[in-house]
Amino acid sequence: MKKLTIALVCGLVSINAFAADIAAGEALAKKYNCAACHGADYAKPIDPSYPKLAGQHADYLATALAAYKRGDSVNGRVNPIMSGQVAPLSGKDMKDIAAYLASLPASVSQKR
């Protein structure tokens, strides 16, 4: 029983080590001034061709940030501004930013 308890605790600790941190993501978004292009609420970008980020799925956002960092032309993620913005970010940073943006109220909707 003791071994099972230790295994469960170790499993929870390792899962939490990779969990995204919304507060850290908010601090990073402010530090890198994401709002300058994507709008103060991340829902009204300064240019209509820029994406609305608030309320998007965290996994989508993290994947997009990683693709910008790679300069992934296959997925259309070649942008000199975004490449420069994400260059200093770690994988954890990108997940944290994505979690923060996903936690914001969404302005994206579908018309039926």
Task: Give the residue extent of every domain in the chain.
Answer: 21-103
Instruction: Tell whether the model's pLDDT for residue 3 goes beyond 90.
Output: no
Residues 48-80 as b/e (b if ≥16 CB within 10 A, e otherwise) read eeeebbbbbebeebbbbbbbbbeeeeeeebeee
Q: What confidence tier does 72 reach under pLDDT thresholds 50, 70, 90?
A: confident
Percent of the chain with pLDDT over 70: 79
Q: Which of 93, 89, 87, 65 is nearest to 77 (CA)?
A: 65
Instruction: Tell me which DSSP letter residue 44 carries.
Output: S
Provide the CA 90 distance to its chain's centre, in angstroms: 11
CATH 1.10.760.10 for the 21-103 domain, yes or no = yes
Q: What is the pTM of this model?
A: 0.78
Instruction: Tell whether the model's pLDDT for residue 94 goes beyond 80.
Output: yes
